[in-house]
Amino acid sequence: MTVGLGGLASLFGLVAFGAVLPVVPTGVAVSGAAALAAHDNPIMVLFVVLAGALGAYTGDLITYAACRWGGEQLARRLRWLRGNEKLDKLGAELKHREVPVLLVSRLVPGGRIPMLLAASVIGVTWRTFVYANAPACVLWAAVYAAVGLLGGTVFPRPWEGVVAAIVLVLVVTQVATWVHRRREASA
């Protein structure tokens, strides 16, 4: 198995689709592709990170456009905004530290969509979003590729590394979600 140009294009499409409709395990796709690339040609891992980051970035642009179009009505329809305190808190964080907040929201499971919605409602400009979200997408892809590399280097066969990467991503995601929920419950 190799990760060629077709595999990179598929990864880009899968991650972009998953960034718009978050039902696709995009992190698992990047990790698996990185694990495969590491066995075949380690330089391809850089292209896996690039394809994953570009896919995430493209999907985020589409999602942000939808959030800006739907705005506060969309947030209320999704029952995300029950009051303005949540929006005010996220808005204050975004105004002072756009890049770090977007970085964290991309890495926290379930954090990206609420942050994109908050950014659109408080009026973060396209220009600011375009520049602030780029490093977040690159970091996200690099983290998941590193998970794939970890799984891929431990096992001698590529498919074992892919399976290990998938399991590791699922475990890390579940633990991060559990910790996040515990923090919200205590706050």
pLDDT for 47: 96
pLDDT for 69: 83
CA terminus-to-terminus distance, the chain: 47
- Pick the range with the lowest mean pLDDT from 5-19, 60-74, 126-140: 60-74
Spatial contact of 88 and 121, defined as CB atoms under 8 Å apart:
no
- What pTM, to 2 d.p., does this model score? 0.77
Q: Residue 104 corresponds to which tokens in the numbers above?
A: 């964290």
For tokens 């739907």, the residue is 70
What is d(CA 86, CA 69) in angstroms, rounded to the nearest whole number?
20
Q: Residue 180 corresponds to which tokens in the numbers above?
A: 């996040």
